[in-house]
Structure 1
Amino acid sequence: MAFEQVRYRPLASRVLAALTVVVCTIGVIALVVIDVGEALRYGWPLLLIAVLVWAMFWRPELIVAEHGITVVNVFRTEFVPWPSIIMVDTKWSLTVRTPSRVIRVWATPAPGRHRLLGLSRSDFTGLGETARGAHGSLRPSDALSVPSGNLAQLIRFRWERLAETGALDAGADPTAEKTTWHAATIAATAALAAATVIGIVA
């Protein structure tokens, strides 16, 4: 039976990104209407903010699929096959460790302390042994009722089942891991940052 793919993109972050881009767009249009010269000077910071917010809050996602996980972060996308995973952590954000890399999932930061108030034992029911730290301890961010813990459990469950069936016995193949840099986003950010500085100091 094929594994059902799960795709996670935080809705609140995407709403924030969409609203910010709309506000920046309106700002640029207003500058153009009022004074084209001023728009050419001060419109760049608004465009830079729009691109950065889109990259930081709209783009990030996590895809858990049959052959591995794909982590889409701000400036790069990383594919990690199941045999390459050696640890899944939630200390600061959902983090996947391989023999050579530490990959933090931008889409799933650890929840704030207010979100963690009111957690009970039932929020940790069903967590596997790989979720436990020293002396069997669990982090609040591992709770199944918060995104970081829920997605960590999803990854751990698939990873543990594959290990039990011997599917990971061949070990990690470093060449199977893949990193793709978001060249267009990096170039646009650099260009807009330069234009912003030039516009301000000119």
Structure 2
Amino acid sequence: MSFQEVHYRPVFGRVLAVVTDVVCGLGVVAMIVTDPASALRYVWPVLLVAVLAWALFWRPSLLVQEYGITVENVLRTHFVPWPSISAIDTRYSLTLHTATGRVPVWAAPAPGRHRTMGLAPKDFEGVGETARGAVGELRPADALSTPSGNLAQLIRGHWERLRDAGAFASGVDPEASTQRWHWATITVVAALAAATVIGALV
């Protein structure tokens, strides 16, 4: 049976990014039309908000693949092969504990208090044993009805099957895990922040 890849992007985050960027775009157009001279000073913070909205709410994603997991966060993209994973946690967000450190998944934060108040025992049916704490407890974010819990169980299930099949017997290759910084995003944000400060001081 072939492995089914899963690519997750939070819908609410993408909607928020689009709405924010549309509002910022309209604001930029309005400033240029009404007062082009002032726009040169005050357009930069609006553009900064637009870029941050894209980076924070549109970019984050999780790709679960046959040979590993790709986590795209705001400033870095991580690739984590299955053998490198030692635990899957959902305390603050879906987080992969690996041989080289923790990899939080920005696309799958833990649900808020209001979302977890209505949880029932059935929401935790089928959660893997590796999700349980020292005394068998589960976190609200482990509930399968939440994005963090659903994705965590998807990853746990495949990880546990590979482990039980002896796929990790050869050990962990420290060079198999990779991370890539989003230098273009960092540069643009830094430039817009500097332009914002200069525009405010001039």
Question: Do the structures match in fold with TM over 0.5?
Answer: yes
Specify the alignment match of 1:11 in structure 2.
11
Specify the alignment match of 2:154 in structure 1.
154
Amino acid at match of 1:73: N
Q: Percent identity?
A: 62
How far the C-alpha of 1:60 sits from its partner, in A, is 0.3
The list of structure 1 runs, each at least 4 consecutive aligned residues, that deviate by more than 4 angstroms after superposition, is none
How far the C-alpha of 1:92 sits from its partner, in A, is 0.3
CA distance in 1, matches of 2:78, 2:192: 25
Aligned-residue CA RMSD (Å): 0.6
Specify the alignment match of 1:113 in structure 2.
113
Specify the alignment match of 1:34 in structure 2.
34
How far the C-alpha of 1:94 sits from its partner, in A, is 0.3
CA distance in 2, matches of 1:107, 1:173: 26
Amino acid at match of 1:77: T
Task: Please list every run of 5 or more consecutive structure 1 residues that lacks an aligned counterpart in the other structure.
Answer: none
| Within-5 A mapping of 1:1-202 | 1-202=1-202
CA distance in 2, matches of 1:29, 1:171: 56
Amino acid at match of 1:80: V
How far the C-alpha of 1:39 sits from its partner, in A, is 0.7
Deviation by residue 1:23-65 (Cα, 9 ceiling, x = unmatched)? 0011011111111111110000000000001000000000001
| Count of residue correspondences | 202
How far the C-alpha of 1:2 sits from its partner, in A, is 2.2
SS in 1 for 2:152: helix
SS in 1 for 2:170: coil
